[in-house]
Structure 1
C-alpha cells in the first residue's frame, strides 16, 4: 500500500542528504562529469530542481513540462551555475514541491506526468524519491547504490520490475536477492531465467546503473537485455 505521507518524509530526508553532500563540493567539482553520459554534476542538480518545479505543475493541473525541448534547454541553461546558486535552487524548488504536496488534496486522483504517463497522485512522492536517490548516486560523490536505504531499494526494484512486466522483448525473469527477497519481471509465463545477486546490484541492472549486472549470476540463460528507461 502506498503511503504518500511516509514518502514525502523520505523525500525530505533524501534531499537533505543530497544537499549536505553537495555542499562539500566546489565550483570546479560541480563542473566535472557525472555518471550520466554528457551531463556534468551541474546538469544533474539542475535537472533535480526543474523536476521539482515540474511536479508542482502536475499537482496544480498543468502539463509537467512545456515541451521536451524546453525541458532540455532549461537544464542546459542552469547547469553551469556556481555551487551556491545550485544549492539554493535545489533547496527552494524542493520546498515548493513539498508545500504543494503537503496541502489537503485527493490522493486517489490520476495525474498525468511526462510523455503521457499517468499515475495515482499518491505514488508521485515515491517517483520524486527515485529522482533524488538515484541522482545522488549519479553525482559520483561517494553515495553508492549500496548506500541506498534498504526499503527504497526493495521498492524501486519492485517498481522497475513492474515497468518491464508484460514486455514481449524481455523474457520472463525471476529476480532473487541474496537477502531473501524475490521479484518477477518480463513477459508472461514461467520464468526462463533467474537472476541472483545483491539487491543493490539488481537495482543497478534494472536502472542501467552501477556495473549494469556484471556482478549478477544467472540460471537458465544469459542476463536479459532491458529496454532503455
Structure 2
C-alpha cells in the first residue's frame, strides 16, 4: 500500500468538498452560476475513454510495475478507480460511500493483481454503473454524504469522479501528463485546491496565479505576502502533490509547504 502522504492524496479525491464552478464544453471553461452535472458526466465519460484506450496498450507485466504513487502498482491504481466508481454510485443512491476504511483498502489490495483484461473490464463496467446512476432522474440540489461525514451537493459528484479519472491516469505513468489534462479541468481543479487550503493556519497567505486567473489561499490576511506563479499544469501539480513546485516562480517568500490533502 502507499505511504501515508500519497494514500492521503488518493483518499482525498474520495471525500473532497468542492465549490461553485464552471460549465459547458469539456476542455474550455466558462463561468456558470451552478455546477452542471450533465456536462461533467460527459467529461467523465471522455476521460474514462482516454484512460481505457491508453491502458489497453499495456500488458500484464506492466500492471505489476510501480505507479507514480509510492507503494501502489498500476494495478492498485486501476483497482482504486473501479472501486471509487462504485463508491460514488453508493453516494448518489443514498448509501455509505464505503463500508469502512479498512474494507476500502482491502478491496483495492484484493483487486490489484488481476489481469489486464479483468482490470479493463472492471474499470469500464464500474464506470458504466456510475454513468447510469448519474443519468437517472434525481434532485441534483440535494445534499449527499461522502466519507468521514463530509457532505456536498449531489451536482458536484460528477466533478469528483472526473478528478479521480484524470489525476489517476497521470499517476499510472504511461505517457499521460498534467500538461495533457483539459484546460477546463486544470482551472477548476486549481480553484478547488486553493479553496481547500484557504484559512489553513500553517500556510502563509498566498496568491496563486497561472498568468490568467488568480486565487488566494492560506491564512487570512489583508493582502497575501507570497505570490506563486506558474503554468496551469505546474500549479495543479504542486497543489495536488504531484510536483515539487520547482517550476513555479515565487515572490515575497519561500514556496509554502502544503499539508497532505
Question: What TM-score comes out, normalization by structure 2 length?
Answer: 0.86
The alpha carbon displacement at 1:38 in A equals 0.3
Instruction: Identify the match of residue 209 of structure 2 among 149, 172, 176.
Output: 176
Gaps of 5+ in 1: none
Moved over 2 A (4+): none
Aligned to 1:4: 37
Aligned to 1:111: 144
Aligned to 1:79: 112
Aligned to 1:223: 255
Aligned to 2:126: 93
Determine helix, strand or coil for the equivalent of 1:55: helix
Report whether the alignment pairs 1:30 with 2:54. Answer: no
Determine helix, strand or coil for the equivalent of 2:97: coil
Report whether the alignment pairs 1:133 with 2:166. Answer: yes
Q: Distance in 2 between matches of 1:2 and 1:227?
A: 27
Aligned to 2:77: 44
Aligned to 1:187: 219
The alpha carbon displacement at 1:187 in A equals 1.6
Q: Distance in 2 between matches of 1:13 and 1:216?
A: 30
Report whether the alignment pairs 1:63 with 2:96. Answer: yes
Report whether the alignment pairs 1:208 with 2:208. Answer: no
Instruction: Identify the match of residue 179 of structure 2 among 141, 146, 149.
Output: 146
Q: How many residues align structurally?
A: 227
Task: Spell out, residue by residue over 1:77-122, the C-alpha distance to the aligned partner (whole angstroms, 9 max, x if none).
Answer: 0000000000000000000011011001011111111122111100
Task: Spell out, residue by residue over 1:127-153, the C-alpha distance to the aligned partner (whole angstroms, 9 max, x if none).
Answer: 000000000000000000000000100
CA-based RMSD of the aligned residues comes to 0.7
Report whether the alignment pairs 1:156 with 2:176. Answer: no
Instruction: Identify the match of residue 166 of structure 1 among 188, 199, 202.
Output: 199
The alpha carbon displacement at 1:217 in A equals 1.2
Deviates more, 1:68-77 or 1:167-176: 167-176
Q: Distance in 1 between matches of 2:184 and 2:214?
A: 14
Determine helix, strand or coil for the equivalent of 2:72: coil
Aligned to 2:229: 196
Determine helix, strand or coil for the equivalent of 1:6: helix
Task: Spell out, residue by residue over 1:52-92, the C-alpha distance to the aligned partner (whole angstroms, 9 max, x if none).
Answer: 00011111111100000000000000000000000000000
